[in-house]
Amino acid sequence: MPADRHAMSAGTEEAPASGHTAPPCVVEMRSITKTFLDVTANSNVTFSLREGEICALLGENGAGKTTLMNILFGYYAADSGEIRIGGEKVSFSSPKDAIACRIGMVHQHFTLVPSQTVLENVVVGSGGGKFFLDLSGARKKLLALQERFGLSVDPDAPVWTLPIGGQQKVEILKALYRDARILILDEPTAVLAPLETRELFATLRTLAAGGCSIIFISHKLYEVMEIADRVVVLTKGVLTAERKVSETSERELANLMVGRDLAEKKRPPRGTPGSPLLEIRGLTVKNDRNLEAVNDLSLDIRSGEILGMAGVSGNGQRELAEALFGLRKPVSGTISVNGMPLPPARPKASVESGMGRIPEDRMTTGLLLELSVEENLVLENHADFRSLGMLDHGAIGRHAERLISDFSIKTDGRTAKAQTLSGGNLQKIILARELSASPKVVVAAQPTRGLDVGAIEYVHWRILDARASGAAILLISEDLDEIFQLSDRIAVMYEGRIMGIADGGSASREQIGLWMSGVNEPCA
């Protein structure tokens, strides 16, 4: 698909081409080292950023990207090393100092107060010594910013009512509201749909053009190629490579990150799909705001087929998945797995129906972080290890050992607490739990969100593997590449409805993109 890639990167030219007249360094981090208990997150990292430059930070999960940025933002204290801002040596004891140096950071995991309005979230802490809140003044300033950078969100909407894309805008506005000149974005696109990403990039370019310097973290190499002027690669806490984007390639970057070439991303040929295993009829589901998020939706998925459900976040995908998992009570409609209808809002039933369930938020829904790996592995089937009310720990242990090796989960042992595992490995626990019993139906929601290329590769392989063994798979994802790589059929969800379904092999990104934005006439 290089063609579309090119289409997307149209306009890279606007970005100030670094090199010709080298602008001054606004940030210099010298030999930064940071260790946590048992991990060295950054070792002797030296990094610099020029004015108006967009610099991408690459690295596997746990490479130390977030840590390095947290140090620059004054959130973590480095064990050693020094930081200079605009040539001045600084020592930050808290983000307050960093903000004073006009540094802003959009965190990997949003730092918003859901119950408060956008405006409140933006102005908090920026009172400037005033005692009484001046919300009207703040609103003016905010609207002006929105105007200027095309970041439109309703200032008075409570944040929890916003889609993820909207929440991210709030995060960016928070930084800009404090006149940040140095902007750090930690995996901003991980949760965005292509359209939103495009909007974001437009904003970033405007900012950079205005002399704002940007550090951009992402696991998506083509994004880096598109938006960044320069790329820096961290591996296991060490800065291992630096490239001008103009002088490198996706392939090289992948290699630099993972330390090996990634398998060529090619979708294995689809088998002949069998009988429908997952049937959804007239499903209507309400969201937390009690609005209809899924609207009279019907769908069939056949054995040995992957249906990719694309769509901009907040169009009902979450609610659809929750209904399938039995976490949310449908208003109407039926769901049947392998011919058997599921009783509404009974997670147990969806477990017993033999559905493999990969939830969107692995931390809050999928896992018991404070319990051990083995306890997480038997969350759904611990009853099978019961003998007169007691758990057969021996059997559970053996079961865990097998899965840990089958799914090559990196852990200090089956009794290690899940929370000490890494993102990718946490996802592996879920895969192991859900796919090892060779389920008839698999529902995977955002299965690779936040994971690095290596981990993603593994997840994809597992999903295709499940398809090969005849499962009907619903893949809900906001990552179009993932959709295009895996799907036999591609459906697009818009405002709770299915805009259309296209064949995975022949569908065009334009068509899907149009559907995602709610436009329905087929394009020439």
Ligand X SMILES: Nc1ncnc2c1ncn2[C@@H]1O[C@H](COP(=O)(O)OP(=O)(O)OP(=O)(O)O)[C@@H](O)[C@H]1O
Look at residues 286, 281, 357 and name the one whose alpha carbon lies nearest to residue 324.
Answer: 357
Binding flag, residue 368, another protein (CB under 8 A): yes
Between 42 and 422, name the residue whose CB sits nearer to Mg ion. 422
Between 158 and 423, name the residue whose CB sits nearer to ligand X. 423
Binding flag, residue 67, Mg ion (CB under 5 A): no
Binding flag, residue 99, another protein (CB under 8 A): yes
Q: Are 80 and 41 in contact (CB under 8 A)?
A: no
Q: Are 218 and 224 in contact (CB under 8 A)?
A: yes
Binding flag, residue 379, ligand X (CB under 6 A): no
- Give the count of residues interacting with Mg ion (CB under 5 A): 6
Q: Are 42 and 214 in contact (CB under 8 A)?
A: no
Binding flag, residue 124, another protein (CB under 8 A): yes
Alpha helices in 74-117, H assignment, sequence order: 95-100
Which pair of structure tokens corresponds to residue 394? 């021996």
Collapsing DSSP to helix, strand or coil, 168 comes out as: helix
Taking CB within 5 to 8 Å according to partner kind, which of ligand X, another protein, Mg ion, none is near residue 461?
A: none
Between 91 and 419, name the residue whose CB sits nearer to Mg ion. 419
Residue 145 has, within 13 A of its CA and on its CB side, a CA count of 25
Binding flag, residue 423, Mg ion (CB under 5 A): yes
Per CB under 6 A, the list member of 18, 43, 61, 235 interacting with ligand X is 61
Binding flag, residue 328, another protein (CB under 8 A): no
Q: Are 24 and 222 in contact (CB under 8 A)?
A: no
Between 256 and 373, name the residue whose CB sits nearer to another protein. 373
Measured CA distances, 129 to 83, 99, 464 (Å): 28, 15, 58
Question: For residues 426-485, which are near another protein according to CB under 8 A?
Answer: none
Binding flag, residue 446, ligand X (CB under 6 A): no
Q: Are 232 and 29 in contact (CB under 8 A)?
A: no
Residue 229 has, within 13 A of its CA and on its CB side, a CA count of 23
Tell the smallest beta-carbon distance from residue 400 to another protein (Å): 14
Binding flag, residue 296, another protein (CB under 8 A): no
Per CB under 5 A, the list member of 66, 168, 315, 511 interacting with Mg ion is 66
Measured CA distances, 223 to 201, 298, 309 (Å): 9, 34, 22
Q: Are 484 and 325 in contact (CB under 8 A)?
A: no
Binding flag, residue 130, another protein (CB under 8 A): yes
Between 117 and 485, name the residue whose CB sits nearer to another protein. 117
Read off the amino acid at residue 308. G
Q: CA dihedral defined by 389, 393, 397, 400, rounded to 10 degrees?
A: 20
How far is Cα of residue 4 from the mean position of the Cα atoms in its chain? Answer: 22
Q: Return the ∠ at Cα 247 (arms to 241 and 252), rounded to 5°.
A: 55
Tell the smallest beta-carbon distance from residue 218 to Mg ion (Å): 10
Tell the smallest beta-carbon distance from residue 371 to another protein (Å): 6
Binding flag, residue 359, another protein (CB under 8 A): yes
Between 188 and 314, name the residue whose CB sits nearer to Mg ion. 188
Binding site for ligand X (CB under 6 A): 36-39, 41, 59-67, 108, 419-425, 452, 455
Binding site for another protein (CB under 8 A): 36-37, 73, 75-77, 93-96, 99-100, 105, 107, 111-116, 120-121, 123-127, 130-133, 174, 178, 325, 327, 347-348, 350-352, 357, 359, 363-371, 375, 379-380, 382-383, 386, 389-391, 393, 419
Binding site for Mg ion (CB under 5 A): 61-62, 66, 108, 422-423
